[in-house]
Structure 1
Amino acid sequence: MRPSIEEPGNANRVTDSTAGTPVVPRHVAIVMDGNGRWAKKRFMPRFFGHKQGVDALVRTVLSCADRGIEYLTVFAFSSENWKRPTEEVSGLMGLVLVAVAKYLGKLASHGVRIRIVGDRSQVSDKLRQAWEQAESSTQHNTRITLSVAFNYGGRWDIVDACRQAMRAGIAPDDLNEATLNRFMALSYAPDPDLFIRTGGEVRISNFLLWQAAYSELVFSDCLWPEFGDAELDAAFADYARRDRRFGAVDSAASAALDKA
């Protein structure tokens, strides 16, 4: 079941005077990659890397909140991750339960709202109940919204939105981007301004294919458990230097054309 549709708020953002790009993005998306390699470098099982990855996530959520980020969306478990060894998948499911029990109170006390996006049909009742607890107990928090993409895929998101639109009786001629967006998993949030991937890989891996159409991409060699304030601020500094054009010409070129 999808969450109820909400309209994203309009907050004033601090902007760079030259590029017009917000110095601090409103919505940040992160592919948290590198847990397994981090553990392997230390001759530890992959699961140990995932545990450290949860700690890194909590640190990052609070750091984003401190920097004025309104939305943080993280890729926790891909719909393709079911192909991993059964032992690793089972461990990840158990880790989610432990993480909710350990960190929910802390995140809630810092004004974090938690939302889970993805296909819930394949996970256990126990896991669904933990998610419902996390969502219901933080639903009135407004400092930052943490969206955890679990059993999620960008293609699934688009197909599922199309199916919902069809069930709603929307005629093909009436279907446009704005209408379809109402049925997407992140319908309650603005599109990500900044898309970060850690771990050194340069791909988006079926994450937020619809929403990241105009996101600024930053790829970091840092393995996720090591990701901290320095890496976060470096990504924000890179973002602030970008001139977001959304298909138009850049501001300098536009000024030159106006003078021609």
Structure 2
Amino acid sequence: MEESKQMSFLDKIDKSKSPEHVAIIMDGNGRWAKVHGLERADGHREGINSVKSVVEAASNANVKFVTIYAFSTENWCRPDEEINALMDLMVFAIRQEEDNLIKNNVRVKSIGDTNRLPEKTRLALEECEEVTSKGNKLMLVLALSYSSKWEIVHATKQLIRDVRNGKISEDDINETLFSQYLTTKDIPDPDLMIRTGGELRMSNFLLWQAAYTEFYFTDTFWPDFREENFYEAIVDYQRRERRFGKTSEQIESEKKS
């Protein structure tokens, strides 16, 4: 008699209540490579397969936005050899996946100080954003040369410039308006943030946007993170009560009304 198939965490997800936006800090590529006796670049290459798996899993779970922390502004401090390898890998991965992204209705968008990227990386990214612009099932947001502190300072400078030019007044400034000056202005705040690799910190990622985000930390290194890991994180998320500063009683009352 054939053994019964083990239930997937996907079967436990209530897709009507899936997080709209999942953000991911992809950590552990270098440590994964070290454990396997490989070069750090090998860890980054295997990490690309995890990105593919998560994009497919997100689509299956009815998630509409996935933001991945691909390269931080602090990462520019890494050795030139590793940075160059990462940039070459990004170009390769973007071009290799374009057809699949289009086929699966995935739109690609980048956030961050992309002017710092090498020209070939920036051009490949811009081309990918253009050819996938009609995708309407899932938006894959690539945080490249990104950090929250950079983003908030950049937004503040733009805000000050518009006040000086008379486009807005000081009295117009509030949280909603400020959010419109961020690189994520057309993207909902993340409902769930996943960090792989066992570290318990945010690493300068979406600090403004994550004010009421749920966090999920796992020891799994990013190159080992696959569909089932993603589904498990969503199942854990759906067990939580999101109160946004309210009491449990208020939440229950709102559900009944």
TM-score, normalised on structure 1? 0.87
| 2:240 alignment partner in structure 1 | 242
1:150 aligns with 2:144: yes
SS at match of 2:216: strand
Instruction: Output aligned runs, 1:1-260, within 5 Å.
Output: 23-169=17-163, 170-251=168-249
Write the deviation string for residues 110-144 of structure 1: whole angstroms up to 9, x where unpaired: 11000011002211221111111010001111000
CA distance in 1: counterparts of 2:180 and 2:250, whole angstroms: 35
Gaps in structure 1 of 5+ consecutive residues: 1-14, 256-260
CA distance in 2: counterparts of 1:39 and 1:254, whole angstroms: 47
The alignment covers a number of residue pairs equal to 237
CA distance in 2: counterparts of 1:183 and 1:68, whole angstroms: 28
Gaps in structure 2 of 5+ consecutive residues: 1-12
Conserved 8 A contact 2:29-2:40? yes
| 1:3 alignment partner in structure 2 | none
Higher helix share: 2
TM-score, normalised on structure 2? 0.88
Conserved 8 A contact 2:115-2:122? no
Following TM superposition, the consecutive aligned residue runs of length 4 or more in structure 1 with deviations greater than 4 angstroms are 252-255
Write the deviation string for residues 74-121 of structure 1: whole angstroms up to 9, x where unpaired: 000010001111100110011111111211111121110000110022
CA distance in 2: counterparts of 1:52 and 1:30, whole angstroms: 16
Q: What percent of counterpart residues are identical?
A: 41
| Aligned Cα root-mean-square deviation (Å) | 1.8
Q: 1:253 to 1:171 in 2, by over 3 A?
A: closer
- Letter of the 1:70 partner, please give it: K
Q: 1:24 to 1:254 in 2, by over 3 A?
A: closer
| Cα distance, 1:162 vs structure 2 | 1.3
| Cα distance, 1:23 vs structure 2 | 3.4
CA distance in 2: counterparts of 1:22 and 1:86, whole angstroms: 45
